[in-house]
Amino acid sequence: MTRPTTARRSRTPLATATLAAALVVAGCSATPPTDETADRKSVTLINCGADATYDVPVERVVATSNGANVGTILKVGGLDKLAAVSLNANNDVVMESIFGPGIADVPHLEGSSITMETVLGADADLVVGSYSGLFKGASGVTPESLQANDIASYVISDSCRQGGDAPDKLGTMDPWDALRADVENYGILFGTEEIATAAGTELDDRLRRLRSAPRPATAPRVLIYDSGEEDLYTSGGNGAPNGIVDVAGGANVFADVDNTWFRASWETVASADPDVIVIMDYKKSADEVQGKIDAIKARAGLRDTAAVRDNRFVVLPLAMFTSGYPNIYGAEELRKSLEEYGLVPASGIDFTATLGR
């Protein structure tokens, strides 16, 4: 829901304003330069349960924290709005295989080095981030510090804080509802509402197709393996991975954890006895995935799980599993793999139209 209001600010260049004033003082009959922001308006959106007002359409967006969320921006037609992204450049091929060319030409930032100086240098009028990423505040960039610099912020809906007695816990809505909220809001922010509406309809159609697929009496237990040595960084019941696993016909072994991403002990992981392990591919090196598989097979306890015994691993890009439009592609890829392993019944779904194979 949006509520139009009067514009909050103008980004008219100082030189333009000074020139216009000089023409009036001189009594010149020339027409003052057109204010480039005259056709902008303010809208109030709901972001993480609170009203947030923006001047739209936004023109220069710095998108951080989450590669899949960059995919959402691309899906709703926001490529030309991107001033910079914190997407790992090795994931450009993933994004371009789904959304077409262009993202490789956008300046890429190192996620760990994004500071207020970086944001100001990009001349951003909107910064997108998450409370599990940039907006943690380690580099000094938060919604509050951005507001102090007259820059708007948008919190990726999947990462909203629960607040109350659990201020550090994230996730306040169903992950697919969170994605829908971002699709709709980005369409409004970028002035691409029609494209966003079509994207939302496509998402719902593909989710409906997956949810109507036959399921086994007992869903296969799925472990999300992100990273970790002393313990495992994995996904609980509130994040995008849980939604992906669920619609694919599986059961996240940590679905009962009231958080998005969290750390689990190896003992807990082993006791969960997963039927299949989904390995997140960061696309950082050629031997990354094999290194993770070798580490799993070498670890006492894990090597005795059903997934490792039967060599059931699914490798998918991390950029499909953080919250964003690529999630639906990740869900279809996982369903396809579960069917190939015989862990769920054949659905008869032809995935070639969306996955290309």
User: For 293-320, how does the pLDDT look when each residue is reduced to its tens digit (9 = 90+)?
Assistant: 999 999 888 989 999 999 999 999 999 9
Amino acid at 356: G
Domain end residue (candidates: 185, 208, 231): 208
Q: Are 127 and 114 in contact (CB under 8 A)?
A: no
Q: Which helix (H) or strand (E) holds 255?
A: none
End-to-end CA distance of the chain: 38
Residue 357 pLDDT: 59
Do 61 and 199 share a domain, yes or no? yes
pLDDT tens-digit readout, 125-176: 999 999 888 898 888 999 999 999 999 999 999 999 988 776 678 888 999 9
Which residues does 117 contact at the CB level (< 8 Å), separation at least 6? none
Residue 288's φ and ψ, nearest 5 degrees, are -60, -50
Lowest mean pLDDT among 18-27, 177-186, 247-256, 340-349: 18-27
Do 203 and 221 share a domain, yes or no? no
Is 301 inside a domain boundary?
A: yes
Do 158 and 279 share a domain, yes or no? no
Q: Are 148 and 177 in contact (CB under 8 A)?
A: no
Do 323 and 294 share a domain, yes or no? yes
Residue 110 pLDDT: 76
Helix 67-75 and helix 326-340: axis angle, to 10°? 110
In this predicted structure, the answer to whether residue 14 has a pLDDT above a threshold of 50 is no
Pick 229 or 183 by higher pLDDT: 183
Mean predicted confidence (pLDDT) in 177-205? 98
Q: Per-residue confidence at 33, pLDDT binned at 50, 70, 90?
A: very low
Residue 308 pLDDT: 96
Q: What's the mean pLDDT when you consider all of the chain?
A: 87
Domain end residue (candidates: 159, 180, 208): 208
- The rounded percent of the chain whose pLDDT value lies above 90 is 72
Q: Which helix (H) or strand (E) holds 232?
A: strand 232-235
Cross-strand bridge partners of residue 161? 170
CATH number (domain holding residue 348): 3.40.50.1980
Do 178 and 256 share a domain, yes or no? no
Pick 193 or 22 by higher pLDDT: 193
DSSP 39: T
Residue 138 pLDDT: 85
Name the region of 251 (left: φ>0; alpha: ψ -120 to 50; beta: rest).
beta
Q: Strands across the sheet with 276-281, in order?
A: 251-252, 221-225, 276-281, 313-317
Q: Per-residue confidence at 16, pLDDT binned at 50, 70, 90?
A: very low
Domain end residue (candidates: 208, 243, 272): 208
Do 203 and 253 share a domain, yes or no? no
Is 31 inside a domain boundary?
A: no
Q: What range does the domain containing 162 cover?
A: 53-208
Which residues does 163 contact at the CB level (< 8 Å), separation at least 6? none
Residue 19 pLDDT: 27
- The rounded percent of the chain whose pLDDT value lies above 70 is 88
In this predicted structure, the answer to whether residue 30 has a pLDDT above a threshold of 80 is no
Residue 153 pLDDT: 97
Mean predicted confidence (pLDDT) in 326-344? 97
Neighbours of 169 (CB within 10 A): 19
Residue 165 pLDDT: 73
Mean predicted confidence (pLDDT) in 15-44? 49
Name the token pair of 248.
């694919």
Residue 38 pLDDT: 56
Is 66 inside a domain boundary?
A: yes
Q: Per-residue confidence at 200, pLDDT binned at 50, 70, 90?
A: very high
Name the region of 48 (left: φ>0; alpha: ψ -120 to 50; beta: rest).
left
Nearest to 56 by CA among 177, 236, 185: 185
Residue 102 pLDDT: 97
Q: What number of CA atoms fall less than 13 Å from residue 165's CA on the CB side?
A: 1
Q: Are 278 and 314 in contact (CB under 8 A)?
A: yes
Round to whole Å and give the CA distance between 355 and 318: 16
Name the token pair of 55.
């001047």
In this predicted structure, the answer to whether residue 46 has a pLDDT above a threshold of 70 is yes
What is the 3-state composition of the chain as percent helix, strand, coil, each rounded to the nearest 5? 40, 20, 40
Q: What number of CA atoms fall less than 13 Å from residue 306's CA on the CB side?
A: 13
Do 202 and 125 share a domain, yes or no? yes
Mean predicted confidence (pLDDT) in 238-251? 95
- Using alpha carbons only, what angle is made at residue 350 by residues 349 and 351, rounded to the nearest 5 degrees? 100
In this predicted structure, the answer to whether residue 74 has a pLDDT above a threshold of 50 is yes
Domain count, the chain: 2
Q: Which helix (H) or strand (E) holds 87?
A: none
In this predicted structure, the answer to whether residue 31 has a pLDDT above a threshold of 90 is no
In this predicted structure, the answer to whether residue 34 has a pLDDT above a threshold of 60 is no
